[in-house]
Chains A and B, each alone.
Chain A
Amino acid sequence: MRLFRTFAAAALFMAISSCNAQPVAKENSANTSDKIEAYYFHFTARCVTCNTIEARAKENLETLYPNQFQSGLITFQSVNLEDPESRPLAKRLGVNGQSLLIVRGDQKINLTNEGFMYATVKPERFREIINEKVDGLLIK
């Protein structure tokens, strides 16, 4: 029953939000097209690997791009998908499950699989991948 209610609420929310989704997306992309935003989406129950990915991703961005990070050109945000306030952002970025995303304007790079493969066992490889992807976004 509770599950049904959750579904009903989600369906209602999507029906309402789809009406004005377009202007919001436009407004956001206009404001953030120069910025590189990294997001780690997760649920309330975490695991060791998930926490490590989040910590390493943030640490790598901070140390690889200290100037851009301090000036706010590159940001990192951890988002709990079970928090109702995260829904508009998750919907805008098309996120349903755990994800590590790097976003600039309309461009979206999904590094979830790389994070789960490398962050704990090969952190230097994970760092290289982040470096390569963010460099690619900075050039464009």
Chain B
Amino acid sequence: MEFLTDLLESSTLPLFTAFVLGLMTAVSPCPLATNITAVGFISRDIENRNRVFYNGLFYTLGRAITYTIIPLIIVLGADQFRFSGFFQRYGEKFLGPVLIVIGLFMLNIIRINLPAVKGLTSRMQAKKSWSYLDAILLGLLFALAFCPYSGVIYFGMLIPMTVSSATGLYLPVVFALATGIPVIILAWFLAYAVSGIGGVYNKIKIFELWFRRVIAALFIGVGIYYIVRVYF
């Protein structure tokens, strides 16, 4: 962290500053629980390393969308201080329940038979046909879950840089990329290690089924952690 702070101090280039701020957010202990969950989610297609990599990229794209829409709304006239206060106050509160619901979906415990959500439900339950859209949505959601540390980094440092000039709107994309990189690397390493083991023992399919169950349990566990942390 000291190294990143030094880099930040010496940086005169907004692009580089945004990147370092993103890395600081990614490696800080504060959003660790969401990062672990994201690594699990991204590496769920554990048998296919390329797919894990693309999942990571789409997850980062989701984060970039959220991080760019917020300054756009501020530029369009929303009160920056009220807006940031709202996210800092409620960002973590909605995350716990949402993670538990996603986990229950993944475990097939919740089934919704309404026609509108049937497609979504069956896709969530299908073991093979995960779409990249899920990764984008998870990125969107996790980027919204500002913890106290990432809230200050984003709203206190990145947003003022972004909204101060018309050309600053590319900065959130760079920031999002930096927050996503450690997650992508970890997920890819995990997939690489596991596929090596699978190749030898040829039991990757069974492993994959259990791995998905572990990820679902991880979502529920992290969800409970956030609920306890925020509400009790």
Q: Which A residues lie at the B interface, using CB under 8 A? A: 3, 42-50, 81-82, 94, 96-98, 112-113, 116-118, 120-122
Contact = CB atoms under 8 A, between A and B. Distances in A.
Interface in B186-230: 229-230
Contacts of B152: 97-98, 112-113, 116
Contacts of A50: 148-149
B157 A113 contact: yes
A46 B156 CA distance: 17
B92 A45 contact: yes
Contacts of B30: 47-49
Given A49-B148, A96-B84, A116 B153 contact: yes
Given A47-B148, A98-B88, A98-B152, 12 more contacts: A3-B90, A43-B148, A45-B148, A46-B148, A48-B29, A49-B28, A50-B148, A96-B82, A117-B5, A117-B8, A118-B5, A122-B2
Nearest to A113: B156
Contacts of A113: 152, 156-157
Interface string B84-95: 111011101000
B151 A97 contact: yes
B1 interface: yes
17 contacts: A3-B90, A44-B230, A47-B30, A49-B148, A50-B149, A96-B81, A96-B82, A96-B85, A97-B81, A97-B155, A98-B88, A98-B148, A98-B151, A113-B156, A113-B157, A116-B149, A122-B2
Contacts of B85: 81, 96-97
Interface residues of B, number: 27
Contacts of B173: none
B147 interface: yes
Contacts of A94: 81
A82 B89 contact: yes
Interface string B136-151: 0000000000011101
A43 B1 contact: no
B102 to A, nearest CB: 21
Contacts of A118: 5
Nearest to B9: A117
A47 B147 contact: yes
Contacts of B147: 45, 47
A97 B153 CA distance: 12
A82 to B, nearest CB: 7
A97 B155 CA distance: 9
B16 to A, nearest CB: 16
| A-B CB proximity, top 7 nearest | A96-B85, A97-B88, A47-B148, A121-B2, A47-B30, A97-B85, A96-B81
